[in-house]
Amino acid sequence: MTQTKVAISIEEGVLAKVDALVKRKIYANRSKAIQDAVQEKLARLERCRLVEECAKLDPVAEKAVADEGLTEDLAEWPKY
């Protein structure tokens, strides 16, 4: 994947924590640590959005849609 260099502003305390992770060799460098943190945050936000959308669903209506036509189709299934 192509990478692009960007400049960011970051609190000194946060940067010190990132530097500590690099020093302990948990991350190869600051860029990798920050990239992983951003990716993790984006994934978490996406999961939260999915949960919010799922919460809008009506379980009774969703079950009715899932079950729709199921009884008719069962007769056509082969016997095992």
Residue-level pLDDT at 72: 61
Among residues 51, 22, 48, the alpha carbon closest in space to that of 35 is found at 22
Cα of first residue to Cα of last residue in the chain, in angstroms, is: 48
pLDDT in tens, the chain (80 residues): 799 999 999 999 999 999 999 999 999 999 999 999 999 999 998 888 878 887 888 888 888 777 776 666 666 777 77
pTM, two decimals, is: 0.61
In sequence order, what are the residues at sequence separation of 6 or more whose Cβ sits closer than 8 angstroms to the Cβ of residue 28?
22
